[in-house]
Structure formats: C-alpha cells, structure tokens
C-alpha cells in the first residue's frame, strides 16, 4: 500500500479535501466531531429547533420543503419532521438518472407509510450526459449535474410554491472542514459556491460547453437569485445542526419503523448496507476518487465508525486494505454513457491526481457485480461523434499540460 500520511485517530489521508493535521497528527475532522460530541449543548439546540419550526407551522400550503433522495439521511430527516415534529412537508426529489430498484421500492414504501406529497423531477438526459462528461474532464468528478441539481432545484420549487423553510439532513462538518460545528451552516449560495458546485456555476458551464447546450437547459442546475429567495424569506437549514447525527442509530429506526431496506454497494464491506445505496454510479464515483486521491469510501466509513468508537483504528486499516483498490463493474455503464474507452477514462482520471498520491493501475483488482446489476438501465449511450467533439473542445481549452 502507498505511504500516504493518515490521521492518527481515523484513517483519512492527507489527500482528503480540507484535511489539516494538528501537532498530535489528528485531523481537523476528528477534532470537529469531538467538538460536536462534547461541546455542543444539544438540549438547547433541540429547543431552538422546536421553536424555529413553530414560526412556519400552518402558515402556508406546506410547513416546509424536504429535499429527498431516498438514502438514509433524507429518509431519517423526513421521518423526524413528519413523525416527531408532525409537520406537513413537500418532498422534492431531483433524479440524477441512476436510482437503483431497491431505492424506488423504499421510496414508495416510505411515501405510503408517512403520507406525504411528493414532487419528482428528472432533468433532460441528453443535457445531463454532456454535463457528466464535461465535469469529469474539468474536475475529475462526473457528478456536477447531480451536486448542483440536488441543491438548486429544490430552491426553485420552494420559490414557486412559496415554502420558506427548507430542511436538509446532515451538516457537511461531519465529513469535511469547509464548515465547522461552531458555526451555523446554512444551506445557501455561499455553501453552493464553496464546494457543492466544484467551482463552476451554470453560467460558467455554459461557456465551457461552447454552444453544446442552451442557457435554458442549465436552469435546473442554477442557484436561484438571492432576491427571489429573500422574497419568500427563505431559511435553509440542516437538521443535523440541531440534533446530533448518529447514522447507525438513525438507520435502525428507519428500518424498524418504516421498513426501509439497505442494499449492498460496490466495493464496500457488507455491514455498511445503508451507505450510498441510491445511485448505481456510486462504484465509479468511488473508483475515480481512489485514482485521484488514493483512498475511497471504505476509509470514509471506517473513519466515521472510529470517531464513534465502533471500530479501532487497526480494524479500520484492515477494512481499507481489503476493500479499496478495486475496479467496479458499473464502470462499463459509465463508459457507455459518456462514450469513452477505458484507456481514455483512466487517462482523464489520472490527470486529476492529488499530490502526493500516484495511482498504480497494476495493483487494481476486479470488484464484484451487485445483485441488481442487470436491472440498471443502459439506455442513452452517448454517440462517439459527440464525445469526440467534447474531447476536442476540451483539449483545445486545456492548452498545454
């Protein structure tokens, strides 16, 4: 295994975004979570939340808007708001195009168990494809359309239906140091610009695509103007800023009370059957991260368990060694969707390596297929001619290196 410097408490390496190590070699995310566990008066925070929601209860057609994916965090958030707080939400889901069958079943079950109005939006696939390829080229992350869509689209819905309170799930300080628990993390344009949109707004993407899409095609990915959001007096918050986020406990509750079912996930230890089960491109995303940064989801999951005293650091490193460094079968689908060959894919991913990590392709093994692999839609493959056009444009722009 490569010799990256890792946190002395968890197992995150130096290539993790925003990581900083203190004199004891512990990372800022560990410190932040320690702060969360010891310094925050959660009773006070809960009271704050209970008071906050009263300002919105019964005031409009809906008490709040809940952005939803069907994964553990949004299900827990919805559960809490409906069952515990007894609010009437409008649930909004932005469909990134890769929802897995189990997730669809989970969603139907939850809709029926909880009883909620549900708004589902699927953006134009042809536009999404181009965005996937472009963001993979620009940033080594093909999920730009998903990141921006998930955080922008619900805001437009909030404006349209005049729903000022928007409640998200966990705050980012659980995983990165773009914010820390000492501050109030509002899910707003600043956060969108800070790290959600990968440094590219829809208006910028328009120039980079050089005529391949229309400005209107990019609306679902554009953050609404502040003036519009101010008009409805918006308040966009994380539930996890007011109640302490405990993934394991929350998953148990939604499994018991709502019949939510977990699933296996590519190249991840089976006991983590609740993590990122909603997207069948998850394996590719994780693989790209591994190529770029030398670590991926198992490190992330092990670190969370370590911070919550459920795993020792040695056990964490064992998991990392066993599960990381594998090629996901879903890569075949991704290559179809963006029209790339595997060599091109590797070349592009490697161009985004974060120093000091260097990717060793020879050490990569094949990962296992998941049980529903054959059910994943492979429709909508990109025309090679279109891919070539985008690649050519990219090479011209990127100039030298």
Partner 1 sequence: MIGIVDYGMGNLLSVKNILDYLGEDNFVCHDPGDLARADRIILPGIGGFPDCVRALHENGFVAALNEAVLTQKKPIMGICLGMQVMARCGHEFEKVAGLGWFDAEVVNINTVNDRIKIPNVGWEEIQLNKNSPLFKRLPAKSDFYLVHSFFMKFDDDNAPEIDASYEVEGVKITAAVRKGNIFATQFHPEKSSDLGMTIMENFIDWQPAI
Partner 2 sequence: MQFLGSRNDPDDFVLVTTVNFEKIVEMGNPISQAKIFQAQMADELIFIDLSVYKGEYQRAASLEILDKAARNIFLPLTIGGGVGSVEDIRTFLNHGADKVAINTKIIENPDLLRKASLKFGASTVVASIDYRVELDGNRYVYSQAGQAKQSFSPLEWAQECEKLGAGEILLTCINNDGLREGLDIPTIREVSDAVNIPVIAAGGCGLARHFSEGFTEGNADAVSAGTFFCFQDQNIMQTRSHVHNAGVNVRIRT
- Single residue of 51, 211, 230, 309 touching partner 1 by CB under 8 A: 230
- Single residue of 117, 184, 203, 360 touching partner 1 by CB under 8 A: 184
- Single residue of 61, 182, 246, 375 touching partner 1 by CB under 8 A: 182
Distance, in Å, from the CA atom of 72 to the CA atom of 141, rounded to the nearest integer, reads 23
Q: 3-state SS of the chain: helix, strand, coil percent to 5?
A: 50, 10, 40
Which residue's CB is nearer to partner 1, number 216 or number 230?
230
| 295, two tokens | 């670590």
> 237: burial class by Cβ within 10 Å (0-12, 13-18, 19+)?
buried
Distance, in Å, from the CA atom of 205 to the CA atom of 210, rounded to the nearest integer, reads 9
CA-based diameter of the chain, in Å?
A: 60
Which residue's CB is nearer to partner 2, number 37 or number 210?
210
Which residue's CB is nearer to partner 1, number 50 or number 184?
184
Query: Residue 320 CB, nearest distance to partner 2 (Å)?
Result: 22
Q: Which does 173 bind (CB under 5 to 8 A by kind): partner 1, partner 2, none?
A: none
Estimate to the nearest angstrom the gap between the alpha carbon of 231 and the chain centroid: 29
Query: Residue 41 CB, nearest distance to partner 1 (Å)?
Result: 15
Task: State residue 84 phi and psi, 5-degree precision.
Answer: -90, -50
Burial 80-119 (b: 16+ CB within 10 A, else e): bbbeebebbbbbbbbbbbbbbebbeebbeebbebbebebb
> 183: burial class by Cβ within 10 Å (0-12, 13-18, 19+)?
exposed
Query: Residue 45 CB, nearest distance to partner 1 (Å)?
Result: 14
Q: Which does 189 bind (CB under 5 to 8 A by kind): partner 2, partner 1, none?
A: partner 2
Distance, in Å, from the CA atom of 223 to the CA atom of 236, rounded to the nearest integer, reads 13
Q: Which string of x and - marks every residue 356-385 that binds partner 1 (by CB under 8 A)?
A: ------------------------------
Identify which range of 33-41, 125-133, 186-194, 369-377 contacts partner 2 by CB under 8 A.
186-194
Identify which range of 155-163, 182-190, 280-288, 377-385 contacts partner 1 by CB under 8 A.
182-190
Identify which range of 84-92, 122-130, 176-184, 379-387 contacts partner 1 by CB under 8 A.
176-184
Which residue's CB is nearer to partner 1, number 182 or number 392?
182
Q: Which does 35 bind (CB under 5 to 8 A by kind): partner 2, partner 1, none?
A: none
Q: Which residues pair with 117 in a beta bridge?
A: 90
Binding to partner 2 (CB under 8 A) within 333-362 occurs at 351-352, 354-355
Query: Residue 234 CB, nearest distance to partner 1 (Å)?
Result: 12
Cis bond before residue 356 (omega within 30° of 0): yes
Q: Which string of x and - marks every residue 274-293 that binds partner 2 (by CB under 8 A)?
A: ------------------x-
Which residue's CB is nearer to partner 1, number 182 or number 246?
182
Residues 6+ apart with CB under 8 A from 398: none
Binding to partner 2 (CB under 8 A) within 19-38 occurs at 19-21
Q: How far is CA 29 from CA 45, 71, 168, 193, in A?
A: 21, 23, 20, 21
Binding to partner 1 (CB under 8 A) within 236-255 occurs at none
- Single residue of 140, 240, 325, 329 touching partner 2 by CB under 8 A: 140
Residues 6+ apart with CB under 8 A from 268: 275, 276, 286, 297, 298, 301, 323
Distance, in Å, from the CA atom of 254 to the CA atom of 36, rounded to the nearest integer, reads 23
Q: Which does 17 bind (CB under 5 to 8 A by kind): partner 1, partner 2, none?
A: partner 2
Residues 6+ apart with CB under 8 A from 86: none
| Size of site (CB under 8 A) for partner 2 | 44
| 81, two tokens | 């708001």
List residues near partner 2 by CB under 8 A: 14, 17-21, 138-141, 177-180, 183, 189-195, 197-201, 203-205, 207-208, 210-211, 292, 351-352, 354-355, 397-401
């Amino acid at each position: 295994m490569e010799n990256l410097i890792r946190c002395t408490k968890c197992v995150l390496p130096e290539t993790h975004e925003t990581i900083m190590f203190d004199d004891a070699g512990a990372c800022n995310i560990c410190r932040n979570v320690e702060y969360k566990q010891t310094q925050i008066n959660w009773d006070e925070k809960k009271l704050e939340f209970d008071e906050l929601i009263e300002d919105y209860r019964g005031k409009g057609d809906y008490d709040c808007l809940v952005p939803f994916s069907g994964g553990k965090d949004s299900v827990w958030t919805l559960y809490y708001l409906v069952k515990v707080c007894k609010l009437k939400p409008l649930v909004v889901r932005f469909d990134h195009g890769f929802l897995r069958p189990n997730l669809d079943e989970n969603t139907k079950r939850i809709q029926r168990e909880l009883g909620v109005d549900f708004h589902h939006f699927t953006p134009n696939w042809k536009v999404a494809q181009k965005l996937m390829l472009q963001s993979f080229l620009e940033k080594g992350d093909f999920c730009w359309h998903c990141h921006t869509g998930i955080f922008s689209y619900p805001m437009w819905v909030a404006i349209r239906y005049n729903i000022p309170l928007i409640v998200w799930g966990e705050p980012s300080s659980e995983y990165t140091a773009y914010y820390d628990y000492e501050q109030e993390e509002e899910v707003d344009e600043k956060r969108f610009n800070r790290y959600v949109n990968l440094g590219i707004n829809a208006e910028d993407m328009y120039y980079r695509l050089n005529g391949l899409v229309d400005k209107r095609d990019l609306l679902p990915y554009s953050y609404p103007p502040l003036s519009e959001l101010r008009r409805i007096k918006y308040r966009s918050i994380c539930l996890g800023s007011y109640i302490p986020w405990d993934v394991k406990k929350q998953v148990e509750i939604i499994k018991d009370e709502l019949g939510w079912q977990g699933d296996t996930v590519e190249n991840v230890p089976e006991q983590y059957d609740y993590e990122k089960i909603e997207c069948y491109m998850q394996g590719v995303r994780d693989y790209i991260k591994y190529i770029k940064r030398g670590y991926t989801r198992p490190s992330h999951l092990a670190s969370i368990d370590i911070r919550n005293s459920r795993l020792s650091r040695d056990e964490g490193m064992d998991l990392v060694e066993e599960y990381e460094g594998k090629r996901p079968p879903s890569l075949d689908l991704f290559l179809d969707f963006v029209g790339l060959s595997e060599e091109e894919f590797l070349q592009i991913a490697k161009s985004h390596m974060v120093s000091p990590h260097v990717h060793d392709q020879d050490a990569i093994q094949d990962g296992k297929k998941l049980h529903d692999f054959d059910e994943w839609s492979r429709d909508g493959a990109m025309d090679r001619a279109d891919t070539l056009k985008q690649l050519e444009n990219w090479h011209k722009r990127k100039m030298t290196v």
